[in-house]
Amino acid sequence: MNTFLNWLDNRTGIRATVHEALFERIPGGARWRYVWGSTLVFAFSVQVITGLFLWMAYSPSSLTAWESVYFITYDMQFGWLLRGLHHFMAQAMVVLLAIHLMQVIIDGAYKAPREVNFWLGLILMQIVLGLSLTGYLLPWDQKGFWATNVATKLMTLVPVVGTKLQRLVVGGPTYGHHTLTRFFAMHAGVLPGLLIAFLALHIAVFRRHGIKAADPLHKKDAMFWPDQVLKDAVACLGVLLVVLLLTIFVGAELGAPADPSQAYAAARPEWYFLFLFQFLKYFPGETEIWGALIIPGIMFGVLALMPFLAKWKLGHRFNIAYMVIVLCGIGYLTAQAWHEDNRGPKSADYHRAVADAQTRAERVRELIEYGEGISEKGGRALLRSDPKTAGPDLFKRNCAVCHSFDGHDGTGGPQEKATASDLGGFGSRDWLKGFVVEPGGPKYFGPTANGSFNGKPIADTFSNGAMARWAKEHAGKMSSEEIAAVVEFLLSQGDRTDLGPVDADLAAKGREVFELGSLDANAEGAESRACLQCHEMVIDGAPLGTQGLAPGPDLSRYGSEAWLRDFLLNPDAPHNYGDRNAMPSYKDRMTEAEFNILLKWLRRQWLEVKGKK
């Protein structure tokens, strides 16, 4: 071993290099307060290691970025650990950076002859913040996508070249494949390369001047190795433990896949940029450039000028006071942003947006794990085509002008002036029973009284129409079994997969009631009670009733997808409600794909994972 080392040393001078690196004198002895620079180097090393391994599994394009991160997080062995380390170490780095900067300023280590190293440090800080900004986008989830969108939009504020600059960064007019390839090249290539170069300079210049001892007479001088190395290593271990705990107990979040069509009200930048986000709220309209660029620029400028300011008698104190004020300001703005989101008047909206985002993130995971996996259209397409996810919004946009859904607009928002039935639970046993017993009630024809059709009020055309009058006269006379039977019979027409199996015996009885009005052939007035008096139906190709002459809607395959499709496309057809129906045809009102999603959503045809609500 020694022979080999001698041979190597002879040719490389490695011993002297190692000694040079390790045997740096520390006046006043090793101290805990000197550890911060080393913890930053450590944090960066972890980012390089974890980043390179993540790179081996990451695929930067708008159809594969989220998907590959999903695969790393939920499928690859210890992928969650690798991603968590990278995710939280990035945040730790920002914290350590702030501590290191404060330490340098308090100890006066920015003053002559160390000005250049101070500026190198400030450049390194910008690079680290750049890494964090570019890295936030790479998972291509809703959060990163929308937050980064805001950041790049701010670029357009740069005078003269702003819009061109933004387009260059984004790689085109809108976010897409090239935004990711560019951000990834910056994040994994350009910025780390610059960081390594500037870090080498930073350390070289640091070694030239030696450590700025806070108190050189504190203790006997010591060497960097092993006293300070051990302290540094223990501090790094502390950082690593915190990051590990966060990884294990919090975990790196992965939101739903980015979707430009799906607004994300909970978009916030990473917490350490939250103060800037909050700061912008104070700059309305065209003054935004002051909050986004000019004032932060001036503040950073003062920071860069600190070595010169320190020459003034009270300069050093001013600098410390300045840093304290700036940090307090940052702290205040961060707290204010947090407060507005969690306690302010709009906090309910924010919390709903967060909950909604979480629901979507969980749902896409369900769809992948229990559905048919991720097709080449990516994770976004899964949510877009999922009735459970996309249905409410389609209902809100297309139906909620007239209909309500369990009293709301489908998405949970307000529906204050319904003029048609409430479709929450459409086709279910409860819903059908309500329709049979109280068709003029508030969940069915009742709200039509508020509407108008062809310029005339609908008034009680339906709310006290033939069906409502029938119910008033007959429903009370029917036994609960007869009602349950007719409900079961109607249900059997709908091919529903979500409502439990049809009770065939009960449905057969229901058919009897439907045709004859009662289970008891001798019941008084049974004949005028029969549904067939007003409705028609074809069962297994055989018609029941009058065949095209009944005044009420044809109930063949009532509630099935085919029935609903026909009803939505031809609401005014004679076999539906005829030309007195105020409902417009849904032909060409939305794409075929959207129409199919809406049909499925109304009938609750979607992937439901067993054991969950």
Partner 1 sequence: MEHDKKPDSGPVQDFLNAEEPRRDFFTQAAAVVTGAALGVVPLFAGLAVFTDPLRKRERKSEGGADADGFLKVAPLDGLLKGGEPRRYEVIDDRTDAWNLFPREAVGAVYLVRPVDGLVKAFNVKCPHAGCSVDFKAENACFQCPCHDSSFKPNDGLIANPNSPSPRGLDELEVKEVDGMVWVKYQEFQPGTSHKVPEA
- Binding-site ranges for partner 1 (CB under 8 A): 16, 19-20, 23-27, 42, 45-46, 49-50, 52-54, 56-57, 64, 67-68, 70-72, 75-79, 81-82, 85, 209-213, 216, 223, 225-227, 229-230, 233-234, 236-237, 240, 244, 372-376
Task: Kindly tell me which of 26 and 276 has the beta carbon lying closer to partner 1.
Answer: 26
Task: Kindly tell me which of 108 and 176 has the beta carbon lying closer to partner 1.
Answer: 108
- The position carrying tokens 């940090």 is 327
For residue 19 the two structure tokens come to 């000694």
Report in angstroms how near the CB of residue 117 gets to partner 1 at its nearest.
13
Task: Kindly tell me which of 177 and 477 has the beta carbon lying closer to partner 1.
Answer: 177
Report in angstroms how near the CB of residue 250 gets to partner 1 at its nearest.
16
Report in angstroms how near the CB of residue 108 gets to partner 1 at its nearest.
10
| Phi, psi for 408 (deg, rounded to 5) | -115, -170
* Amino acid (1-letter code) at residue 609: V
Report in angstroms how near the CB of residue 260 gets to partner 1 at its nearest.
21
CA 197 to chain centre: 36
- Secondary structure (DSSP) of 98-160: HHHHHHHHHTTTTSTT-HHHHHHHHHHHHHHHHHHHHHHHTT-BHHHHHHHHHHHHHHTTSTT
Task: Kindly tell me which of 72 and 127 has the beta carbon lying closer to partner 1.
Answer: 72
Task: Kindly tell me which of 46 and 423 has the beta carbon lying closer to partner 1.
Answer: 46
Report in angstroms how near the CB of residue 67 gets to partner 1 at its nearest.
4
Query: Residue 395 is inside which H or E element, if any?
Result: helix 387-398
Report in angstroms how near the CB of residue 248 gets to partner 1 at its nearest.
12
Q: Do residues 399 and 602 lie in contact, with contact meaning Cβ atoms separated by under 8 Å? A: no
Report in angstroms how near the CB of residue 360 gets to partner 1 at its nearest.
18
Task: Kindly tell me which of 25 and 33 has the beta carbon lying closer to partner 1.
Answer: 25
- φ/ψ region of 541 (left if φ > 0, alpha if ψ in -120 to 50, else beta) reads left
d(C-alpha 293, C-alpha 303), whole Å: 15
Report in angstroms how near the CB of residue 225 gets to partner 1 at its nearest.
7
d(C-alpha 133, C-alpha 93), whole Å: 13
d(C-alpha 153, C-alpha 478), whole Å: 66
Task: Kindly tell me which of 184 and 275 has the beta carbon lying closer to partner 1.
Answer: 184
Report in angstroms how near the CB of residue 3 gets to partner 1 at its nearest.
21
Task: Kindly tell me which of 20 and 473 has the beta carbon lying closer to partner 1.
Answer: 20
Closest-CA residue to 130 (of 50, 57, 84, 188): 188
- Cα distances from 257 to residues 55, 76, 383, in angstroms, run 19, 19, 9
Task: Kindly tell me which of 53 and 318 has the beta carbon lying closer to partner 1.
Answer: 53
| Phi, psi for 539 (deg, rounded to 5) | -115, 125
Task: Kindly tell me which of 209 and 351 has the beta carbon lying closer to partner 1.
Answer: 209
For residue 73 the two structure tokens come to 């997080």
Report in angstroms how near the CB of residue 385 gets to partner 1 at its nearest.
15
Name, in order, each residue with C-beta under 8 angstroms of 281's C-beta and a sequence gap of 6 or more.
Answer: none
Burial of 247 (0-12, 13-18, 19+ CB in 10 A): buried
String of b and e for 201-211 (b: at least 16 CB within 10 Å)? ebeebbeeeeb
Report in angstroms how near the CB of residue 48 gets to partner 1 at its nearest.
9
Task: Kindly tell me which of 27 and 574 has the beta carbon lying closer to partner 1.
Answer: 27
- Enumerate the β-bridge partners of residue 422: 404
Cis amide bond preceding 113, omega within 30: yes
- Cα distances from 378 to residues 135, 371, 573, in angstroms, run 21, 14, 40
